Chain A
């Protein structure tokens, strides 16, 4: 469902040019759980941002569901992000003035769903992450692990087909991290494609596929076990 061909990204500042990604070619299929690993500064976040259409690229192409995203308007890209892609960030990025419920609701509102539909989806998402009782709390009133679970709920409430997670457990202790991992696996089992940046070899091993980036180049792409399903 994701196809990158010879994709490059260069950051230009006044002083230097950074080739964050060079000639990346990648195919990710529906339902995969892929771990993205590599040293710091190698371009993992950049790749994830481009996949999530948060960032543009300089050359090459990116096909999402067979369609190139090049030349799409801001409105179209926003809609695409909103409907197909869910994000989980290292620093949770919950909106601090909003309650848990309101945070989860935000992307659903952007999509223009009816109130009843929103409510039902939020309830479901809260149920999944086990925070139903805290729905009216403010983010600052929750622990880090709980906040990240809210972020996951927010990401999946819109039922995206792709979930992009940039070091989702980077700010969490190991117990919390394990909970989050279990949650992600559970979501993957329901059919959602997941790409996750991680530094933890354990986590990388638990993912179905391990993509390594070094210095902006896809170095290796190992499949630990063959994919159950494979779609074009």
Chain B
């Protein structure tokens, strides 16, 4: 069957064809954009964090009495808790921190090289106040300098040394040696490998850490621990009891692995991508129903015509292929229009959510999916068409 003839037939059935094309186009547009969104979420969930997600546990908690939330009782509480955690079998290292890692936001502030405030001032860099084992828990590498072995005090005469992540260091001191340089938060004492801090920061890998107990924990704090591989589950079960035994006046908000923490952080994106995926599946189903019924109806209405074609020498195979090619042609035109619609929808969506722009291969893949679904749906009606006897042609209308 020639392309031009197929086109002519389609043009003759204007309304049905327009309906079908519109629907195919919108379906493809949605399909494309949900795949795009799902892909983005997948990438976000799989972006490097510099952390051992499965084997690191995080407890977010808060003392329930005002005294315990402040120096000096707070420091004592933190030490008692960390010691107790370290004693749990399977725990490699435990530490406290004024805030968790892999979060949306938290305690942060601007940071700059005091000699170069104008050029280096970066806002919203997370400030961690931690115990010495924090680095062991996160299992980060020291790139430059040395990590402090002991905790110092934020209110002391000298500012405690600042530990920076690599990417932040490069931004603050590009290509320079950094140990000993003075920041507004204190002198740089070491540079460590990158890890995921706060999502709302300019760069999620920007972090500054000081080994000192926090002043106060009015918003709660985090206890973090790294377990031996495979031990996370067993350790986790004991955490609540252990911490309650150490100090009953606490509220534990949650206990999560860092993997769960990350999923929680991208929950919204994940939810939206899932919803769009479900919607796309529904849409493909609807398209399949419509392709099926339109092909089926077409066959029923055109028994005579098919009979004539058979009488003129069209084989069953040819009839079958002819019907499928009609669907294919329709789908391809629809897909072509759909790519245009997808671009428009993509731009409309970009106004309200963050969504990557279209690339060149995704339209091909999604069109293939669409084509496959339509083929599947047309298969049965096309088989029915081949069963039309050529003798049908001779029956009077």
Contact = CB atoms under 8 A, between A and B. Distances in A.
Interface of A: 45, 48-49, 52-55, 74-75, 78-79, 81-83, 87, 89-91, 93, 95-99, 102, 106-107, 109-111, 154, 158, 166
A47 B195 CA distance: 86
B314 interface: yes
A79 B8 CA distance: 26
Given A93-B304, A98-B8, A83 B313 contact: yes
B5 A82 contact: no
Given A91-B397, A95-B308, A79 B313 contact: yes
B312 A107 contact: yes
B301 to A, nearest CB: 11
10 contacts: A54-B393, A55-B389, A74-B315, A75-B317, A81-B390, A93-B308, A95-B305, A102-B8, A110-B312, A158-B313
Contacts of B396: 90-91
B2 A109 contact: yes
Contacts of B389: 54-55
Interface string B128-153: 00000000000000000000000000
Contact of A81 (B2, B8, B311): B311
A111 B8 CA distance: 21
How many B residues touch the partner, as a band? 20 to 34
B318 A78 contact: yes
B300 interface: no
B73 interface: no
A123 B316 CA distance: 29
Nearest to B316: A74
B1 to A, nearest CB: 7
B394 A89 contact: yes
Contacts of A79: 313, 315
B394 A111 contact: no
B394 A81 contact: no
B365 interface: no
Nearest to B309: A106
B1 A87 contact: no
Interface string B67-103: 0000000000000000000000000000000000000
Contacts of A74: 315-317
B9 interface: yes
Given A55-B391, A93-B311, 4 more contacts: A55-B389, A75-B317, A83-B313, A97-B8
B313 A107 contact: yes
B167 interface: no
A109 B314 CA distance: 9
A52 to B, nearest CB: 7
Contacts of A154: 312
Given A78-B318, A97-B12, A109 B394 contact: no
Interface string B311-349: 111111110000000000000000000000000000000
A98 B315 contact: no
A67 B211 CA distance: 99
Residue from A78, A82, A110 having most chain B Cβ neighbours under 10 A: A78
B1 A109 contact: yes
Contacts of B311: 52, 54, 81, 87, 93
Contact of B312 (A87, A91, A96, A166): A87
A129 B394 CA distance: 22
Nearest to B5: A102
B310 interface: yes
Contacts of B310: 54, 78
A49 B315 contact: no
A93 B393 contact: yes
